[in-house]
Structure 1
Amino acid sequence: MQTISLSKVIPAPIDIVFDEYTDHERLSELPMAISSKVTTPGHTEKNGLGAVRRLNAGAIQLREEITAFERPHLMEYRITWSFPKARHDLGRVEFTEVPGGTRVDWRTVFTVELPLVGGLADPAFKVLFSGVFKTVLHQVEKRSVARAQRES
């Protein structure tokens, strides 16, 4: 099992950062993404609890379900299907107000289940996914700061 933990302070209000992070279809704006779509809306809001999102990044594809959604402080998700096949134990993103903005703490625990190589590929996927998560947080920061400036 591999664990990725990232933290970033984004200079924008917590409500805006939470909204920008949880807008699942905006993942399609990432350079490595082909598409991102909410295939099942959440119970009380499109991107909320129970939502299912599908991300296509070509060689990597994921279907994830939102398993906890506590606006504006917490979102958890679980990968329910992936290519390549993976076991995903946790995806947790916490949002905390701090001086100067919002701290985002993102943690995920996974293992890739590739035939023949098994967990030997996990370290490479950890590096790959760490880079993707940093890119996601960078995009969320850009959108959050721009929106905060528009709304002020």
Structure 2
Amino acid sequence: MKTIVVTKTIKAPIEHVFEAYTDHERLADLPMVISAKVVVPGKTEKNGLGAVRVVNGGLITLREEITAFERPHLMEYRIRDSRPRSEHELGRVEFVEAPGGTKVTWTTVFGLRSPLLAVAEPAFALAFRAIFKMTLDQVAKRAIAETAA
């Protein structure tokens, strides 16, 4: 199993950062994502607790369920199905007010099920770290734009 932790401070209020991050379908704005859809809406809001999102990245497809949703401080998710097949213990994104903005800490713990692919876990970890950073850069742009509006 590999653990990835990515942290970024975004110069926007916590409410704007949380909203920008939890707008699941905006993941499709990323260049490596073909589509991102909420296929089961959350219990109290579309992107909230219980929501299921499917992210199609071509070679990688993820079906994720939102397992914790505490606006505006926490969102957790679990990958319920994926291609390639993976084990996923934790997906946790924490939002904390910080001087000048919001500190976001994104943690995930995963492993690949196939013994053949398991040797590629370090490469997958590097790729996911880069994707998480790109995602948080996009979140920052949207949250800062919302703050300026």
The interval holding the TM-score normalised by the smaller chain is over 0.9
**For 2:5 and 2:57, how far apart are their aligned partners in 1?**
22
Q: How does 1:24-39 map to 2 (within 5 A)?
A: 24-39=24-39
Question: 1:117: how far off?
Answer: 1.5
Amino acid at match of 1:125: F
Report the secondary structure of 2:43's partner residue. Answer: coil
Which residue number in structure 2 is paired with residue 133 of structure 1?
Answer: 132
Report what 1:65 is aligned to.
Answer: 65
Percent of aligned positions with the same letter in both sequences? 60
Deviations 1:76-100 (Å, cap 9, x if unpaired)?
Answer: 0000000000000000000000110
Instruction: For 2:14, give the aligned amino acid.
Output: I
CA distance in 2, matches of 1:3, 1:121: 14
Shift of 1:41: 0.2
Show structure 1 runs of 5+ residues with no match: none
CA deviation map 1:62-111 (0-9, x unaligned): 00000000000000000000000000000000000011000000000000
Tell me by how many angstroms 1:118 deviates.
Answer: 4.2
TM-superposed deviation, 1:119: 2.0
**Which residue does 2:41 correspond to in 1?**
41
Q: Does 1:147 align with 2:146?
A: yes
Q: Which runs of 5+ in 2 are unaligned?
A: none
Per the alignment, residue 17 of structure 2 pairs with 17
Give yes or no for the alignment of 1:82 onto 2:82.
Answer: yes
In 2, the alpha carbon distance for the partners of 1:28 and 1:148 equals: 22
One-letter identity of the residue aligned with 1:80: R
- The more displaced of 118-127 and 141-150 is 118-127
User: Alignment partner of 1:117: what SS?
Assistant: helix
Which amino acid in the other structure matches residue 144 of structure 1? A
Number of positions where the alignment pairs a residue of Structure 1 with one of Structure 2: 149
Provide Cα deviations, 1:25-61, integer angstroms capped at 9, x if missing partner. 0000000000000000000000000000000000000
Q: CA deviation at 1:10?
A: 0.1
Aligned to 1:104: 104
Please give the TM-score of this superposition, normalised by the length of structure 1. Answer: 0.96
